[in-house]
Amino acid sequence: MTDVNTGAAQLLVGRRILVTGGARGLGLAFARHFCEAGAAVAIADIRAELVQGAAQSLRASGFTAHALVADLSDPASIERCAGEAVAALGGLDGLVNNAAVTDSGGKKGDDISVETWDRVMNVNVRGTWLMSRACHAALAASGRGAIVNLASDTALWGAPNLMAYVASKGAVISLTRALAREYGADGITVNAIAPGLVLVEATEYVPESRHRLYIEQRALQREQVPADVTGVALFALSDLSRFVTGQLLPVNGGFVFN
């Protein structure tokens, strides 16, 4: 398989980027790829010990990485995280709103509790909005601010037995377009990426039948790995995409088309 990260070196030199949900999986893959492209990163996660270890692993590779603890369901925690990221990095050029919860996986819509629905919406949608708002001033001050929101291709095909998550990611897509309109005056681009089913820790619960469905129905018939997604995020944060905003970029091997 071709290494999609080849050629990414130097695209983000001097960039300061905050990645939420960065302690493992796709979030950590984002952070490492950005570092390899020359950025300094702050990674935030609710799991304190895990995020500290993740940042240490990046520093051991010679990169600049800071660990922050953030609970995306708590507005005060979000404000604190954004302030700490700006202080640690000396400013902010990019924000990747990657943190999310699934919680409703494997349940039909009629069986999801109101509490579960509210938690998914609070973390995935409200958390994305509040983190973007908390970082707005710093991103505007950078002169090259960019936000990348993680949506999901489940919102494009209406994946069953995942209703709260699907609805939340559909909202993230709409939120992205609204933020792009509002933040454009400050020179901030706002785009969304919609990955397919990626092989990471967070998707280990997904039934084998769903994995097979994705592979068999993709135009590119293989499993999706983090490296398939990270290059698109790097593009959206770099000078290559300074006139691209409000867009949804599906990255799913052709399982669904936008």
187-208 confidence digits (pLDDT tens): 999 999 999 888 777 776 777 8
Q: Which CATH superfamily is domain 16-251 in?
A: NAD(P)-binding Rossmann-like Domain (3.40.50.720)
The Cα 37–Cα 98 span in angstroms is: 19
Decide if 165 is catalytic. Answer: yes
Q: Where are the domains of the chain?
A: 16-251
The model's pTM? 0.93
Q: Write out pLDDT tens, residues 37-53.
A: 999 999 999 999 999 99
pLDDT computed for residue 2 by the predictor: 41
Instruction: Provide φ and ψ at 206, rounded to 5°.
Output: -65, 130
